[in-house]
């Protein structure tokens, strides 16, 4: 009896130890990650060199390769300087962003870091009650005449100065489709949302999911809503949503929500348990006909060796290029400001952009880039077509990817859409969207 | 006397690092968070000037936070309740001096050696409507949607009970605001699977501590087996029950990892909790003061559970 009690007690002590270790390990993983990866990357720098810590959330695939190629070229051209990628994985960048913000608050920022261009940058770091925590960039670093006006306006603070270097451009409003499904059913990609509704009804009647959405993060659903808004409002009207010129209680926003309600009836039933790439897989497998996603989907098709895909602007989005970009700013308290300026100038140059972007699957933000030197990775067909459109299309910002609205406003819009997706209450959602704009100061 | 002082000095020296660390990193941080929650530090300028209770008003006015609090109550009630029932049933089964008891005890305990992240991923696979459980049991994915089901069970203000509540001016109790989200049950299943073995171990230890003489005496007095359990065993297990409720309760109130691995708050906000809201408010929206306010509300919730327990266990010790 006695020994049995002891044994049970032993089991209990062991279980408590497990509980404790489980608690402590989950608590320590986040803060320990940056130092671990940072020191590992810094180890590749020669001793005595000035190490430029670049904090990103690019840890794998073409994006980390592209960044490394960029650093290799920069480090070779600048003896004594060594840029390295202090990457933090996880949560599509949210883990890295939390670390960067904490470090900035503590007055110990990295030399430069990855941040979405637009209001995510401006409203987090620049337009603050206590003044910018970033330093403005002069023309020796970035030449604004080489970037489209739509980009320059959302990398400039209220003082008109430029605060970040956009590295790349991704397009958000693209319709991807399975060519075989469309040809088997004698269909063509819809160019308006009315056409979409007809096409989708045909597909649904044949047991094919018309539109694949993977919104276990609500942003994928938000991107569909944005393309409908662009279609209803046009480029100027859509831009006006983010400046107060277009009101969120506008009848056209009502129409957009009604269309979103219709579209929601055409998406896969398991949408909220899938990620965007799992939804993409439905298109590859022919179980779904279309998906609306940013052009990183192109990289997903390439990586999965699938060639039977086609692309078009999202319905009603022709000649409008909804852009998002990763960019790199100069923190006011960066440890090595002069070295960072050299790196940023290289990132803003034609050469730097053409080294990085073929790997990343995006296109250069500079309008005069697009010709990587021979012997380097070249742009693929999708990228070439996107570059042609980038030079001629009207540029509008992406809300879901930080360009159009402040983070808190985006969260409020996402909260309204999250509720809308399950209840499909157009009037209540529009009220919530209008309230969100009011809270954001518009 | 000299020996005692030396002993005491030694004890103080040994304890000092822990006391300093706990003072700074636990109580200091709590005080700092409390202070931030009363400030205007809602961007990276970190303006620490006085803002009163404005941040608390803002979060309590947020519909999402109201949903979070409802979810937290529903999840805690079902998770703790079901874990206790399953734990006590398993403990009683193992207490029958069955063969291979050690084997079964280990098997039932093993899930709690896994982190909630792993549990969440595995149960997400198992409960995905188009795979796992539905396929195994031949259930229709369209009607068995598990954690993707957006339904919120509620009385409805048109139902007979709802009408009575409306007449009493408590109509809100019959609406979705006080409903039970179906998707939460998938999280409850995963959490119960992980933690009921732990409750079983606690109860088993408790049962082993009850002398057989007590049961025999009750049986001699003519009590049925159920009466023995209900009137003799269960009251003697009260300390174990209280301990279990405290341990499970504080895990439940702080739940984050399981939800992140399984549902990421969806569908809608059916499985959202204050912890996820706190993270998003502070680190995505840069509203650090509001995030701190959510943290303080969570602390108060846990404290309402823990403080009475500490008082109660002190009372037990002095008895």
DSSP letters along B268-308, please?
A: TTTT--HHHHHHIIIIIS--HHHHHHHHHHHHHHHHHHHHH
pLDDT (0 to 100) of residue A61:
79
Decide if B205 and A217 are in contact by the 8 Å CB cutoff.
no
pLDDT (0 to 100) of residue A30:
36
Which of B36, B40, B43 has the most A C-beta neighbours within 10 Å, making it the best mutation to test the interface with A? Answer: B43
* Tokens linked to A52: 């430029």
Q: How confident is the model at residue A43 (pLDDT cuts 50, 70, 90)?
A: low
Q: Per-residue pLDDT for A90 more than 50?
A: yes
Q: How confident is the model at residue A361 (pLDDT cuts 50, 70, 90)?
A: confident
Q: Per-residue pLDDT for A19 more than 50?
A: no
Beta bridge partners of residue A112, listed in sequence order = A54
A124–chain B nearest CA distance, Å: 7
More confident residue, A5 or A259: A259
CB B262 within 8 Å of CB B53: no
Question: Which helix or strand (DSSP H or E) is residue A95 part of?
Answer: helix A94-105
From A5, A15, A133, residue closest to B44, measured CB to CB: A133
pLDDT (0 to 100) of residue A337:
94
**Per-residue pLDDT tens over the stretch B227-270:** 999 999 999 999 999 999 999 999 999 999 999 998 888 787 88
At residue A211, what are phi and psi to the nearest 5 degrees?
-130, 120
Q: Per-residue pLDDT for A161 more than 60?
A: yes
Decide if B205 and A407 are in contact by the 8 Å CB cutoff.
no
Q: Per-residue pLDDT for A289 more than 60?
A: yes
Minimum Cα–Cα distance from B91: chain A residue: A8
Decide if B44 and A218 are in contact by the 8 Å CB cutoff.
no
Q: Which of B201, B5, B292, B126 is nearest to A11 (CA)?
A: B201
Q: Per-residue pLDDT for A297 more than 50?
A: yes
Which residue ranges of chain B lie beneath pLDDT 70? 1-4, 319
Which residues in chain B (192-231) have CB-CB distances under 8 A to chain A?
198, 201-202, 204-205, 208-209
* Average pLDDT of every residue of chain A: 88
Tokens 């529009």 — which residue?
A430
Q: What percent of chain A has pLDDT over 70?
A: 90
* Tokens linked to B43: 């961007």
Decide if A124 and B44 are in contact by the 8 Å CB cutoff.
yes
CA distance A393 to A416: 30
Q: Is A143 left (phi over 0), alpha (psi -120 to 50) or beta?
A: beta
Decide if A129 and B105 are in contact by the 8 Å CB cutoff.
no
CB A175 within 8 Å of CB A143: no
From A8, A105, A270, residue closest to B205, measured CB to CB: A8
Peptide bond just before B267 cis, omega within 30 deg: yes
Decide if A101 and B283 are in contact by the 8 Å CB cutoff.
yes
**Which segments of A265-310 does DSSP mark as H helices, in order?**
276-284, 296-303
């Amino acid at each position: 009896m006695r020994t049995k009690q002891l044994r049970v007690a032993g089991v209990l002590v062991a279980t408590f130890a497990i509980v404790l270790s489980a608690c402590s390990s989950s608590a320590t993983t986040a803060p320990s990650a940056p130092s671990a990866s940072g020191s590992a990357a810094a180890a590749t720098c020669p001793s005595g060199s000035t190490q430029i810590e670049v904090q990103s959330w690019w840890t794998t695939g073409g994006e980390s390769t592209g960044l490394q190629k960029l650093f290799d070229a920069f480090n070779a051209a600048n003896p004594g300087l060594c840029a390295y990628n202090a990457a933090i994985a996880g949560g599509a960048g949210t883990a890295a962003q939390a670390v960067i913000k904490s470090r900035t608050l503590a007055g110990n920022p990295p030399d430069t870091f990855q941040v979405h261009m637009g209001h995510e940058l401006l409203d987090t770091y620049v337009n603050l009650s206590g003044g910018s925590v970033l330093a403005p960039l002069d023309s020796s670093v970035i030449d604004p005449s080489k970037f489209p006006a739509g980009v320059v306006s959302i990398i400039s603070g209220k003082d008109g100065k430029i605060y970040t270097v956009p590295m790349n451009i991704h397009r958000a409003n693209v319709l991807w489709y399975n060519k075989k499904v469309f040809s088997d059913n004698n269909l063509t990609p819809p160019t308006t949302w009315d056409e979409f509704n007809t096409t989708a009804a045909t597909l649904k009647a044949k047991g094919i999911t018309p539109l694949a959405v993977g919104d276990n993060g609500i942003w994928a659903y938000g991107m569909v809503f944005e393309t409908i808004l662009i279609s209803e409002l046009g480029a100027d009207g859509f831009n006006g949503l983010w400046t107060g010129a277009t009101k969120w209680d506008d009848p056209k926003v009502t129409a957009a929500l009604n269309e979103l309600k219709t579209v929601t009836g055409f998406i896969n039933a398991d949408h909220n348990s899938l990620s965007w790439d799992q939804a993409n897989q439905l298109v590859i497998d022919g179980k779904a006909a279309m998906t609306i996603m940013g052009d990183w989907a192109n990289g997903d098709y390439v990586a999965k060796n699938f060639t039977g895909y086609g692309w078009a602007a999202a319905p009603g989005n022709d000649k409008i290029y909804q852009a998002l970009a990763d960019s790199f700013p100069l923190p006011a308290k960066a440890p090595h400001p002069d070295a960072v300026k050299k790196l940023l100038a290289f990132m803003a140059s034609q050469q730097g952009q053409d080294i990085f972007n073929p790997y990343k699957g995006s296109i250069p933000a500079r309008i005069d880039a697009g010709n990587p030197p021979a012997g380097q990775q070249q742009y693929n067909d999708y990228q070439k077509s996107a570059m042609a459109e980038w030079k001629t299309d009207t540029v509008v910002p992406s809300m879901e990817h930080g360009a159009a609205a402040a983070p808190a406003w985006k969260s409020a819009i996402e909260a309204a859409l999250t509720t809308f997706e399950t209840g499909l209450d157009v009037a209540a959602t529009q009220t919530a969207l209008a309230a969100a704009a009011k809270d954001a100061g518009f | 006397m000299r020996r005692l002082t030396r002993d005491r000095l030694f004890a103080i020296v040994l304890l000092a690092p822990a006391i300093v660390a706990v003072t700074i990193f636990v109580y200091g941080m709590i005080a700092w968070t409390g202070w931030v929650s009363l400030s205007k530090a809602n961007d990276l300028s970190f303006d620490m000037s006085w803002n009163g209770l404005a941040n608390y008003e803002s979060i309590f006015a947020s519909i999402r936070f109201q949903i979070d609090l409802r979810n937290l109550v529903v999840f805690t009630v079902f998770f703790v309740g079901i874990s206790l029932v399953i734990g006590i049933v398993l403990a009683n089964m193992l207490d029958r001096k069955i063969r291979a008891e050690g084997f079964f005890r280990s098997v039932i305990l093993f899930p709690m050696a896994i982190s909630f992240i792993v549990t969440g991923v595995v149960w997400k696979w198992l409960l995905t409507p188009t795979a796992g459980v539905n396929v195994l049991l031949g259930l229709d994915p369209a009607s068995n949607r598990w954690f993707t089901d957006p339904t919120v069970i509620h009385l409805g203000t048109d139902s007979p009970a709802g009408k009575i509540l409306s007449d009493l001016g408590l109509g809100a109790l019959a609406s979705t605001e006080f409903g039970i989200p179906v998707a939460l049950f998938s999280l409850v299943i995963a959490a119960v699977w992980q933690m009921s073995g732990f409750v079983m171990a606690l109860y088993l230890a408790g049962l082993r501590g009850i002398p057989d003489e007590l049961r025999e005496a009750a049986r001699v007095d003519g009590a049925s087996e159920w009466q023995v359990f209900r009137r003799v065993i269960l009251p003697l297990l009260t300390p174990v029950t209280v301990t279990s409720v405290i341990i499970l309760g504080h895990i439940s109130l702080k739940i984050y990892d399981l939800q992140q691995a399984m549902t990421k708050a969806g569908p809608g906000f059916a499985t959202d909790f204050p912890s996820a809201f706190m993270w998003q408010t502070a680190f995505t929206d840069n509203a650090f003061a509001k995030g701190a306010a959510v943290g303080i509300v969570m602390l108060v919730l846990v404290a309402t559970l823990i403080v009475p327990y500490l008082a109660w266990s002190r009372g037990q010790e002095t008895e």
